[in-house]
Structure 1
Amino acid sequence: MQIVFIFIALSAGMASAFQSGSNQSLQKALDAPLWAAAIVAVVTAITSVAVVLTSGERLPAASAAATAPWWAWAGGLLGVGFVLGTVYAAPKLGAGLFMASVVTAEVVTGLLLDHFGLLGFDVHRAGWGRITGGALMIAGLSLIAIF
């Protein structure tokens, strides 16, 4: 069953690379990075609402939303940060180096979140295998950046 979730994660990673190119193209066409980011956010919001309305999922109770920890509300802000990164950094770095930087940062940060059980993740201690994997990601990023 884990393979299904790995496939979903791989699909999300591929979509992320395409999103970077899409956002970059919009930024180039508009010649306005902040407007491009705002348009991406609006399209995301409209699409999200359309998916929810067609899914049949019920509206959660306000009391349930009030129980979420403070960091649970940061996703939208972090998403805007990613979109701004794509419109500003991806054109300068190219898709390969930009995505290598993003993925390396995601892996290293993910290892820390797992190791310490932060943001609601179960604890998955960073043994030598995970630490070596993170170090290899950094080494790979360095090779992509240099060559």
Structure 2
Amino acid sequence: MRSYALLAAWSFLAGVGIPLIGVLNSGMARALGNPFAATAALFLTALLAASALTLAIHGAPAVGSIATAPARSYLAGLLIGFYALSATVIIPRFGAGNFIAFILFAQLVTSALLDHFGLLGLPKRPIDAYRLVGMVLLIVGLIITQWSALRNDMGSG
């Protein structure tokens, strides 16, 4: 139970950062003049922080060990780059809540499929009735928030 609570709290804190990435990085984009440069600055900052933590906690990794990672592992860098760039461009135009609602919907569906079928080396965690009901309730909540946002946008235009 202790590790569950710790992992849940850590996940929550990571989730808090998700909308902040786009909000903070859009300010960097305004300062630098474009979202691509802002995203590069974001990843330079992340590289420096991750490198410092790695060296402090684990020491220097063996240079040759990076070649042993599965090729598909490198797609994670492209995906997070796409996410950061998307958040930087979309949040100032669409709002943090709207952006995160669609992100959350995509994450729910994708993670459920990854778990259910045990894709990409994950252990299979079939979608049972409880998980399905929980997902449906979350999706209904997302639909309601978007319905409200769409109604407000149409009323102001």
Identify which of 29, 36, 49 aligns with 1:47. Answer: 49
Q: Which residue of 1 aligns with 2:128?
A: 127
Q: Which residue of 2 aligns with 1:33?
A: 35
CA distance in 1: counterparts of 2:127 and 2:68, whole angstroms: 30
Residue 73 of structure 1 and its aligned partner are, at CA, apart by 1.7
Q: Secondary structure at the match of 1:74?
A: helix
1:97-116 matches, cutoff 5 A: 97-116=98-117
Point out where structure 2 has 5 or more consecutive residues left out of the alignment. 149-157
Alignment pair present for 1:118 and 2:115: no
Q: Which residue of 2 aligns with 1:88?
A: 89
Alignment check: 8 A CA contact 2:21 2:88 kept: no
CA distance in 1: counterparts of 2:110 and 2:89, whole angstroms: 22
Alignment check: 8 A CA contact 2:29 2:35 kept: yes
TM-score, normalisation: structure 2: 0.83
Larger C-alpha radius of gyration, 1 or 2? 2
Q: Secondary structure at the match of 2:40?
A: helix
Distance 1:125 1:93, change over 3 A: same
TM-score, normalisation: structure 1: 0.88
Runs of 4 or more, structure 1, over 3 Å off, are: 64-67
Alignment check: 8 A CA contact 2:117 2:124 kept: yes
Q: Which residue of 1 aligns with 2:151?
A: none
Q: Which residue of 2 aligns with 1:24?
A: 26
Point out where structure 1 has 5 or more consecutive residues left out of the alignment. none
Query: What are the superposed Cα offsets for residues 70-128 of structure 1, whole Å, 9 maximum, x if unpaired?
Result: 22221111110111111111112211111122122112211110001112211100112
Query: What are the superposed Cα offsets for residues 11-47 of structure 1, whole Å, 9 maximum, x if unpaired?
Result: 1101112222111221233331111111111111111
Distance 1:134 1:60, change over 3 A: farther
What's the RMSD between the two structures over aligned residues? 1.8
Q: Which residue of 1 aligns with 2:152?
A: none
User: Match for 1:38: what amino acid?
Assistant: A
Distance 1:136 1:49, change over 3 A: same
CA distance in 1: counterparts of 2:58 and 2:81, whole angstroms: 27
CA distance in 2: counterparts of 1:27 and 1:56, whole angstroms: 33
Q: State the identity %.
A: 29
Alignment check: 8 A CA contact 1:97 1:141 kept: no
Q: Which residue of 1 aligns with 2:11?
A: 9
CA distance in 2: counterparts of 1:70 and 1:128, whole angstroms: 35
